[in-house]
Amino acid sequence: MTRSREDGFINVWNILGIVVIAVIVVGISLWVIFEGHYARVAKENFNIKHLTLSEQERVMIRPMVENVLERLREEANIAKEEEDRLSKRKDITRYNVEQAIIDLRSARKRAYEAHDKLTNTCNAAIYFYLVERNLEWCK
């Protein structure tokens, strides 16, 4: 009896160890994935090749980063307004219903893509400390 309890206790520690190792591996994997994704997004939108910047360099490029984010925010707002305008159309007839549906779907896709690009770019800027973390419309 004593022996089986000890084996059971050891099995619990083995299982706990495996779970801890799995959590660590998943955490490191997610960190590598996000690091690569945010680096690609930052390079694409801010044209910065090396993201290991000093605090002075970050402060120097912060206005450019904020201008890029503001432009992306405006594009996302325009795309959303276009989607809203097309979703409230009143001039649809049976002759243009297919085109109206295609237009609305295209506008929804543009709005989604613009918002997704803004979100990813904001997250990359925050991740690499290129903007203040409390930037209101990046939350």
pTM, to two decimals: 0.76
CA–CA dist 6, 13 (Å, integer): 11
Nearest 5°: CA angle at 13, between 9 and 19?
Answer: 140
CA–CA dist 20, 5 (Å, integer): 23
- Please report, for the chain, the start and end positions of each structural domain, with discontinuous segments joined by +: 2-138
Which among 109, 120, 107 is positioned nearest to 73, based on CA atoms?
A: 120
Strands (E), the chain: none
| 10-residue averages of pLDDT along the chain (139 residues) | 52 84 92 88 90 90 93 95 92 90 94 95 90 76
